[in-house]
Amino acid sequence: MASLILSIDAMGGDAAPTVVLDGLKLFAARRSNVLFEVHGRAEDVTAGLESRGLMDRCTIMHHDDVVSMSEKPSAALRRAKTTSMWGAVQAVKAGRAGAAVSAGNTGALMAFAMMSLRKMEGVHRPAMTAIWPTIEGRSVVLDVGANLDADSDQLVTFAIMGEAYARAVTGKSKPSIGLLNIGSEEDKGRDTLKLAAERLREPELGLNFRGYVEGNDIAMGAVDVVVTDGFTGNVALKTAEGTARLVASYVREALTSGVISKMGAALASSGLKRLREKMDPSNVNGGVLLGLNGVVVKSHGGTDAEGYATAVNLAADLAASRYMEEVAAGLRRDSVEVSVSEVTE
């Protein structure tokens, strides 16, 4: 079987390229059938790849420039073609790589990806996804920051893309979908949500739509896909991340507050280890820009090596899946359903 090739922006992220290369080493040890096209300053990455024993798995693509984490997307676009981020995305467009991974500037990555790969037919705006740990396992939440506002058509598109993505990452054949709202009752929320809900219930779309969900339903795993606009989704995501850090701080404080507490922590070490793993954001790192003609995965800029390896693993899984074909099929069904509605009105 031919090896899968992934395109890596080695210069993106708060601690690049060190964390990026460490993450590649972790991933490479787990999956032997993946090769890498590494984009960055050759003088900054060659020695690192050699010291980690990765040279036989990598092709280095030199780029003079790097997009800084604080740079405005408009400024980055003016010199895009000399940057490692642009090179990583272009490898997907050219068909050399099945997916691109970057921990760099989110706004620039979105702009580069849209300019290079273009939107899929039927997509108004791409959406950024997040994998959300829940009591039931994992849920997909989108949008989490790519679009501050979203009309009913966009929310329907997000649902279609989110369902295909959830199928690819969870293995569920018919993921359930919910619209994030201030209540589960049908008369709650803005007209935009009500219009989207009507569309999502149409049998022609073939979606497993469960109606409205509230913020507390996300962590409970009430549905597999939670659909919302980017403003609301980003606020919810940052709130959840902050709450996780708060709980972790409380647990750490409680277990180190005295001799008896420390003894109890030692006796419960295996259970605490499992708790720490579940609360570790590295285990769910990686957001996908859905709605593009290619797979682009955004890693958190401040992630560690384990988190970066998680993002690379997500990119590999998506590149080997059929989720883009499934997204396209769902968008075609939506287009036909809209056309029929317009004719009958």
CATH number of the domain to which 129 belongs = 3.40.718.10
Last residue of a domain, which of 289, 313, 331?
289
pTM here is 0.83
Q: Are residues 268 and 165 in the same domain?
A: yes
Token pair 């009500």: residue? 194
**Residue 179, pLDDT score:** 96
The answer to whether residue 329 sits within a structural domain is no
Q: Are residues 128 and 250 in the same domain?
A: yes
Give the HSE-up count for residue 275: Cα atoms under 13 Å, Cβ half-sphere: 13
Mean pLDDT over residues 54-75, rounded? 94
Q: Are residues 213 and 74 in the same domain?
A: no
pLDDT for residue 231 is more than 50 = yes
d(Cα 152, Cα 192) in Å, to the nearest integer? Answer: 5
Total residues found in the chain within this entry: 345
Q: Are residues 135 and 284 in the same domain?
A: yes
**Residue 340, pLDDT score:** 42
The better pLDDT of the pair 258, 287 is held by: 287
d(Cα 43, Cα 62) in Å, to the nearest integer? Answer: 9
Q: Are residues 139 and 284 in the same domain?
A: yes
The mean predicted confidence, pLDDT, of the chain is 87
Q: Which two tokens stand for residue 104?
A: 């760099």
Q: Are residues 94 and 140 in the same domain?
A: no
If phi > 0 it is left, if psi is from -120 to 50 it is alpha, else beta; for residue 240 that is: alpha
The answer to whether residue 226 sits within a structural domain is yes
Which range among 117-121, 278-282, 335-339 has the greatest average pLDDT? Answer: 117-121
Q: Which amino acid is at 234?
A: N
C-alpha separations of 287 from 262, 290, 319 in Å: 37, 9, 14
Q: Are residues 158 and 22 in the same domain?
A: no
Mean pLDDT over residues 77-82, rounded? 92
The answer to whether residue 284 sits within a structural domain is yes
**Residue 244, pLDDT score:** 76
Provide the domain count of the chain: 2
The answer to whether residue 9 sits within a structural domain is yes
Q: Are residues 270 and 304 in the same domain?
A: no
| pLDDT band at residue 334 under the 50/70/90 scheme | low
CB 224 within 8 A of CB 166: yes
Mean pLDDT over residues 20-37, rounded? 95
Q: Which two tokens stand for residue 202?
A: 């149409």
**Residue 341, pLDDT score:** 47
| pLDDT band at residue 336 under the 50/70/90 scheme | low
The better pLDDT of the pair 200, 250 is held by: 200
pLDDT for residue 280 is more than 70 = no
Alpha helices in the chain (DSSP H): 18-30, 42-51, 73-78, 84-93, 106-117, 152-170, 191-200, 215-220, 230-255, 259-267, 269-279, 305-319, 323-344
Q: Are residues 16 and 111 in the same domain?
A: yes
C-alpha separations of 91 from 6, 63, 185 in Å: 9, 13, 47
The answer to whether residue 114 sits within a structural domain is yes
**Residue 342, pLDDT score:** 46
pLDDT for residue 117 is more than 90 = yes
The answer to whether residue 332 sits within a structural domain is no
pLDDT for residue 19 is more than 50 = yes
CB 232 within 8 A of CB 180: yes
Q: Are residues 134 and 270 in the same domain?
A: yes
Cα distance between the two ends of the chain: 52
The answer to whether residue 236 sits within a structural domain is yes
The residue segments making up the domain with residue 243 are: 124-289
The answer to whether residue 327 sits within a structural domain is no
Question: Distance from CA of residue 35 to its chain's centroid?
Answer: 21
d(Cα 27, Cα 6) in Å, to the nearest integer? Answer: 12
C-alpha separations of 69 from 15, 50, 78, 168 in Å: 11, 27, 16, 30
pLDDT for residue 255 is more than 50 = yes
Last residue of a domain, which of 244, 273, 289?
289
